[in-house]
Structure 1
């Protein structure tokens, strides 16, 4: 299937997988996963611990190669591209940009990410003030995610919730078509996690979002569709209402959450 479009151009998904699998010896981390996300989707990936969620994201981003199957971005097979090439084509992941620059200010961090997108980081030795166009873009991005009052603060001084928002800003600085969020609310107090997702909900409509999240209240509020992974396989996919009413999901995931 390499090089072929997934579906006719009029219905080409923003992101798709076909038979995506990853094994390590006899262990099947992911098995024959088929998924399609239309442009602008807000799609949640859920499942019990060990279900293969992070492995799936790693396959999408090229962190690990698949044992079999294909990954498509806008109908183009990207299965054999490097992580950097996938980012250039519009696939961004907050986890990949999780190593924030603790000694830089928020503004410097975002400007640096923009320069990386423009392949201008070789000029980073120049004072930040000289990058007027990049500074304006950085200020705009930061304002969109409620960080405009933190621009002059060093990253290491930010509350954890604000650091997670900064990760998203840095991802958006690459101008992604697809944004992959691996538990964006993890480790954040309940009030701040709601703020993070409120910001995510207001991201540009043409940015397709796939997120892993354990907090089912957040999933139900912000996802338009949900895929449930169990044992590395897709158990089911549907609307939040369909997922919550599915007895199989309640047994293997929601029920487990209710009992700790």
Structure 2
């Protein structure tokens, strides 16, 4: 029987000394979710993502991937279980081509990375998988370009490609459009929106136009706690959200 939720938390808390960064945070992502995490600066969004990925241990509470309690698992094991964050692939292979970078990530997943550089003609299966992924992300025309030569927005797409090369069931994105011109950020989210439903996405984003266009459901954090959770329409009409975050003039 397929679990109802691919990722969920129960009462997650994180305290730094006397400061409570997160308090009693419970969220649940169904399979195929496109779920946004929003809130003002200091709301505890990144701290929550850090607990989901194992960067930080929670002070209390639990994290479940499908039905498995992964609260105490290290980051590397969580990735192998299918929970991937783009930040975990935080160093692009600047001197490699885009194809070589994705090929290396695929070989790493398959446990053959130590021999990934052998003649490409001998890596037919991995190359086909890499090219399929590049086509999926509209990166095929950049396959032979050196990564450092790409515009920043396309470098972010390469970062997402490296994350997807791990075959995640859940992809966590911390402000994937940050620092990217509006046109390029729209391209990134159009690509993400087209990903198959077997990849569930939880993302932090400050651009509310992107959030309301892309997310199927939104959780609002304020002061480290869940203020509310709902559909974009419900969030847009919630007076509490307008007061603390959106502003009365937005999305009414």
Q: Give the TM-score range, shorter chain.
A: over 0.9
Alignment partners' CA distance in 1, 2:167 and 2:195: 12
CA RMSD after TM alignment: 1.4
Alignment partners' CA distance in 1, 2:125 and 2:230: 43
Q: How does 1:53-202 map to 2 (within 5 A)?
A: 53-202=45-194
Pick the aligned partner of 1:226 from 198, 202, 218. 218
Alignment partners' CA distance in 2, 1:83 and 1:173: 16
Describe the SS at the equivalent of 2:154: helix
Deviations 1:58-100 (A, max 9, x none): 0000011111110000011001111000000000111111210
Deviation of 1:168 (Å): 1.0
Describe the SS at the equivalent of 1:43: strand
Query: Kindly tell me: are residues 139 and 10 of structure 1, through their superposed partners in 2, closer, same or farther at Cα, counting changes over 3 Å?
Result: closer
Equivalence for 2:35? 43
Where does the alignment leave 5 or more consecutive residues of structure 1 unmatched?
A: 1-8
Equivalence for 1:239? 231
Task: State whether residues 89 and 159 of structure 2, in contact with CA within 8 Å, keep that contact through their aligned partners in structure 1.
Answer: yes
Describe the SS at the equivalent of 2:177: coil
Describe the SS at the equivalent of 2:247: helix
Deviations 1:143-171 (A, max 9, x none): 11000000111100000110111111111
Task: State whether residues 212 and 232 of structure 2, in contact with CA within 8 Å, keep that contact through their aligned partners in structure 1.
Answer: yes
Aligned length: 250
Task: State whether residues 108 and 128 of structure 1, in contact with CA within 8 Å, keep that contact through their aligned partners in structure 2.
Answer: no
More displaced 10-residue stretch of structure 1: 69-78 or 118-127:
118-127
Equivalence for 1:25? 17
TM-score by length of 2: 0.96
Deviation of 1:11 (Å): 5.0
Query: Kindly tell me: are residues 257 and 173 of structure 1, through their superposed partners in 2, closer, same or farther at Cα, counting changes over 3 Å?
Result: farther
Task: State whether residues 3 and 67 of structure 2, in contact with CA within 8 Å, keep that contact through their aligned partners in structure 1.
Answer: no
Where does the alignment leave 5 or more consecutive residues of structure 2 unmatched?
A: none
Task: State whether residues 12 and 75 of structure 1, in contact with CA within 8 Å, keep that contact through their aligned partners in structure 2.
Answer: no
TM-score by length of 1: 0.93
